[in-house]
Structure 1
Amino acid sequence: MTRDQQILEWYQHFHTNAEISWKEIKTTNKLAQIMEDLGIHYRTFEDVTGLVAEIGDGEEVVALRADIDALWQEVNGSYQANHSCGHDANMAMVLGALLELKEEKFNKTLRFIFQPAEEKGNGANAMIDRGVVDGVTHLFGVHLRPAEELKYAKFSSAIHHGAAMFLQGKIVGVDAHGARPHQGKNSIDVLVAIHQMLKTVYYSPFESHSVKMTNMHAGGDSLNIIPGQATFAIDARAQKNHVLEEMKEQLERKLRAIGQLFDVTIEWEWQDITPGAEVSTEAAELARQGIADVIDEADLEPEIHTSGSDDFHVYTIRRPDVKAAMIGVGANMTHGLHHPEMAFDTTILPQAAKVLASVMRHAANSHK
């Protein structure tokens, strides 16, 4: 089997055997088997999924991260784990880079991080807590990009993701008979008020931001009961971390006010907060050099600014000394990220693996 065929086979395996966040058990086992077959030193964790592999030798560490979890979403009428964010491709590309580099000699350690639970926003935190970025000077990530951002075989040296946070809330009112609304506290009225409130969250038009409801539920099968209980979810995003923090404070203040207005209890919990990108100029330049060694200069696109988020940037928030950049890969992606029918041209994966290997070489040969 050729190297390119191996990369595509790995991709197909992960695509077919998708697993959701913190449940990536078979995925981790498959990664471990690959490392054993390749003779690569690796370690797993007793309490969480994921894997870390290393080659080379040296106190300084250059790292490359792939996320390994899938989304849980409805596909053709049924719910299932689905790699509509392209993490199956990320694993295949990083494995391909490792395959190319494993016989080369380096004076630094090259670490390959296969991180769980990116979609939950807390996988990076778990890896940091377990020492995965200890000693790391430079950290790189990779992600496929929608076609409107990058065309096929186009690459970018950095993705500037925005910041994002996700709220799950509960409304506690009072049920009532449909004929006696005055005896209850209708949670649907509160849901509507929250939805309208989100339209009053304003910031400067020069600051990219958005806030919207992504889930709500109230009532059951009986159509003559006014529901007192309801649940809802909010997705809020901003390009800058400080704008997101201000948005969080404003939302909490307005939720408290709505609770008082309708005389109900509104409870909420922030499920995760994913910071915006803190891209290292040095890491982005090393990525640019590595990409340029593999592709034509005309296929190297400017750095990407996107409203999407990724917990890759948690690494640099918690470890500001780590120089990091995430590389963007164009693959003729249709439908877009997180769409249940997201698709892309898999023939880009072998070339992308070469690009990642080249970036790691440049970083390994760089001097602080």
Structure 2
Amino acid sequence: MTVKAQIEQWFEHFHAHPEVSWQEVETTRQLAEILTGLGVKHHTFDDVTGVVAEIGEGDRIIAVRADIDALWQEVDGVYQANHSCGHDANISMVLGALRYLQQEALGSRIRFIFQPAEEKGNGANAMIERGAVDGVSHLFGVHLRPQEEIPFGKVAPAIHHGAAVFLEGRITGVDAHGARPHQGNNALDPLFAIAQFIKTIQFSPYEAYSAKLTKVQAGGDSLNIIPGTATFAIDARSQSNSVLNELQERITAGIEAIGKMHAVEIELIWSDYTPAAEVAEEAVAIATEAIVETVGEEAFSPAIITSGSDDFHFYTIHQPALKAAMIGIGADLAPGLHHPAMTFNREALDIGARVLSATLKKASYWKN
């Protein structure tokens, strides 16, 4: 079987067997089985899902990361695990790169990190804690890109993801009869105030950022009760880590002031922070050369700037000396990432695997 055909077969399997974050048990088992069949030494973990494998020899270590979890979303009226995130493609491209590299002479060890829970924003930290990037000098990732970013056939040497963080809030006041609002503490008024407030937060127009309500829940079936409790969620994003930090501070301060003004308690819990990309010029240079040599100069696309986020960038936050970049693969992906009916040109899988293998091989011989 050709490597290309094997990549397509792997994709079909992982696409048909999605598992959500931290529950990638069968995915982990299947990866371990594939790696065993390829004669690649690897190890799993007792307390988390995921696999780490290595090929090659030497003191230097080059690494590549593939995220392995799926989303939980409604598909055709049914809630289920679904790989609309494209992680099934990422797994297959990284396995394909491994297969291609097994046919090559390498200048260092190549480590393959099959990471859980990217969609939860904390899978990378679990791998970091378990030594996945210990001793690693260069780290690469790979991801299919939506067609509005780059078309099929184009490949970018880096993706500049933005930073993101989520806020869950609970407003606690007192219910009241619709005829006697003065007897309670209405949760809806502060909720609407929060919705208006986050639209007033402004930074320089040269900064890319956003904050928006993504969930609101209040009241029950009775239409004559003014609800005293409500819950809400906010999605906050920025292309800059520093701007996101300030955005988070302003949102917190503003909501606390709204709570005092309306005489209600507002509990805030920030979670699932993912940092903006810290992309190394050297990693981009390596990937650029690999792209041009593999698919030609006409297929090269400049680095992508996207408002999406990825926990891949925790690796460089944890280890600042790590030279990292995530390669973007044009695939005519539509309607978009995380859309339940997402589709893409599967010819992109082999392109991604070949570019990635060339990048890793080139990095294994790269001299600083």
TM-score band, normalised by shorter chain? over 0.9
**In the alignment, which residue of structure 2 is the partner of 1:294?**
294
SS in 2 for 1:278: coil
Query: The residue matched to 1:294 in structure 2 has which SS?
Result: helix
Q: State yes or no: 1:349 paired with 2:342.
A: no
Q: Return the offset for 1:178.
A: 2.4
For residue 19 of structure 1, what is the aligned residue in structure 2? 19
Structure 2 contact 176–184 (Cα < 8 Å) conserved: yes
TM-score by length of 1: 0.98
The answer for the alignment partner of 1:311 in structure 2 is 311
Three-state SS of the structure 1 residue aligned to 2:294 is: coil
Shift of 1:175: 1.4
Partner of 1:144: 144
Structure 1 position 353, deviation (Å): 0.6
C-alpha deviation, 1:207, in angstroms: 0.5
Q: 1:4 and 2:27 equivalent? A: no
**SS of the residue 2:295 aligns to:** coil
Q: Which residue of 2 aligns with 1:99?
A: 99
Partner of 2:325: 325
Deviations 1:230-268 (A, max 9, x none): 111111111111111111110110011011011111111
AA matched with 1:160: H
Provide the rounded CA distance (Å) in 2 between the counterparts of 1:175 and 1:9.
57
Cα shift at 1:177? 2.2
Match of 2:240 in 1: 240
Residue identity opposite 1:155 in structure 2: V
**Cα distance, 1:146 vs structure 2:** 0.7
1:80-119 alignment to 2 at 5 Å?
80-119=80-119
Q: Partners in 2 of 1:169 and 1:102 — Cα distance?
A: 50
Superposition deviation, residue 184 in structure 1: 1.5
1:122-177 Cα offsets, whole Å, 9 max, x none, are: 11111111100000000000111110111001000011111111111111111122
Instruction: Tell me the CA shift for residue 311 of structure 1.
Output: 0.7
Asked if the contact 2:71/2:83 (under 8 Å) is kept, the reply is yes
Letter of the aligned partner of 2:50 in structure 1? Answer: G
Q: Which amino acid aligns with 1:36?
A: T
* Whole-angstrom distance in 2 between the partners of 1:227 and 1:132: 49
Identity within the alignment, %? 58
TM-score by length of 2: 0.98
CA distance in 1, matches of 2:57, 2:222: 67
Question: For residues 105 and 56 of structure 1, what CA distance do their matches in structure 2 show?
Answer: 8
The 3-state SS of whatever aligns with 1:207 is: coil
The within-5 A match list for 1:1-368 is 1-368=1-368
CA offsets 1:309-355 (integer angstroms, 9 cap, x no match): 11111111110010000000000111111111111111210121111
Structure 1 window deviating more from structure 2 (178-187 vs 88-97): it is: 178-187
Letter in 2 for 1:214: T
| Alpha-carbon distance in structure 2 between the residues aligned to 1:178 and 1:44 | 58
Taking only aligned residues, the RMSD between alpha carbons, in angstroms, comes to 1.0
Amino acid of the residue matched to residue 215 of structure 1?
A: K
Whole-angstrom distance in 2 between the partners of 1:46 and 1:367: 37
Unaligned runs of 5+ in 2: none
The separation in 1 between residues aligned to 2:161 and 2:287, in whole angstroms, is 17
Mean Cα deviation higher: 243-252 or 187-196: 187-196
Q: Secondary structure at the match of 2:89?
A: helix
The code of the aligned residue for 1:35 comes to: L
- Structure 2: how far apart are the matches of 1:358 and 1:193? 53
What is the CA–CA distance in structure 2 between the aligned matches of 1:84 and 1:118, rounded to whole Å?
13
Q: Distance in 2 between matches of 1:45 and 1:265?
A: 42
What code does the residue aligned with 1:62 have? Answer: I
* Cα drift, residue 223 of structure 1: 2.3
Q: Aligned residues, how many? A: 368
